Amino acid sequence: MLTDTAVRNAQSKDKPYKLTDSGGLYLLVKSVGKYWRMNYRYAGKQKTLAIGVYPAITLSAARKKRDEARDLLIKDVDPALVKAVNKQVKKHALDNTFQTIALEWHTKQSATWAESTAANIKRCLEADIFPWLGNRPIKDINAPDLLAVLRKIESRGAHEKAQRAREYIGRVFRYAIQTGRAERDPGGDLKGALTPVKAKHHASITDPKAIGALLRSISGFIGSYTTKCALQLAPLVFVRPGELRQAEWAEIDFDKKEWRIPGHKMKMGEQHIIPLSRQAIEILESIQPLTGHGKYIFPSIRSTDRPMSENTVNAALRRMGYEKDEMTGHGFRSMASTLLHEHGWPHEAIERQLAHAERNKVSASYNFAEHLPKRREMMQWWADYLDELAAGAKVINFQKA
């Protein structure tokens, strides 16, 4: 029989060789390592069972596995078959963990999301959910397990994020149910368990006189010229901040006076057209000599291969004296929506220009060119109106005829 010393001191030779123990167990010594094997007969055939690699499997551990295999043979069970079945069970369990299914769901769905949305969801999964639920078989996860994870997020005061995490978990479970790897979504049992979140609205200036003052502040902005142009363009196009900072020169058609944002960048996953007013064209033409050689209209100050930081516009507003509860980069959207509605522009054209999908539509897709002639007219009127406000023109409230 072998000893621990003999196993430890066994050295490789020109050819593999065996060191025999007992009961069919032996150590196969190769140039690349030492392997435990067991020879046995089953159904009249000579077979070999791979037990493990030394030193991860010690001599005593190898003998224990040999004895377990011999017990199976006494019961007329092939140990190699049992090993293969157990391997499949482990693989099946790995394929059905929460993390595996969540990443599979994310990969399939992300093609329909804006890049920023996909990145935010993945970041939430990796930072707040996977560390506690990732390696768990999804069918074994229950409502108290989910609540414990969501409570960790709430403990940081991130109540809104906890609600979003619960939504993501629910969508993963629904995908698991659809693919036959779960029977129900335990997240449904958490109704009322999390701290309610009041709806928050992005701070925005909607008073015409205050808008004029804001536009004059932007005109006098002292700082990066790229940032100043982004600030000037923001109220004219009122897109989402992420869409503005990721704008590419290839998306601009100066002849048609259009900015076409591809669907993968949009929140709703559909291409979006922004008719460009004369004023918007002038801003783009003024910055083109500076950034037109690169991909992004508003590149990062550190690398032209990346767009400007998501905090750049808000930071510039703070420098201009506007607090976060007064005005944000996102606030240009509600500014435009409020004033355009007040001046009688069609609700449908405004909503379409804001890229708001109609929630009551049967089809998830919508016509990105819908109301385009009216939107062209509206966008030029809006730019002219902002010029009037910036010039300090007297504001008269009236309904547009």
Q: Is 258 exposed, middle or buried (0-12, 13-18, 19+ CB in 10 A)?
A: middle
Beta-strand pair 25-30/17-20: antiparallel
Is 245 an active-site residue? no
Is 83 an active-site residue? no
Is 139 an active-site residue? no
User: Is the CB of residue 226 less than 8 Å from the CB of residue 356?
Assistant: no
Is 30 an active-site residue? no
Is 343 an active-site residue? no
Catalytic residue among 47, 139, 174, 267: 267
Catalytic residue among 161, 356, 371, 374: 356
Catalytic residue among 260, 366, 374, 385: 366
Catalytic residue among 66, 106, 166, 330: 330
Is 13 an active-site residue? no
Catalytic residue among 63, 240, 245, 352: 240
Distance (Å, rounded) from C-alpha 71 to C-alpha 393? 95
- Write out the catalytic residue numbers: 240, 267, 330, 333, 356, 366
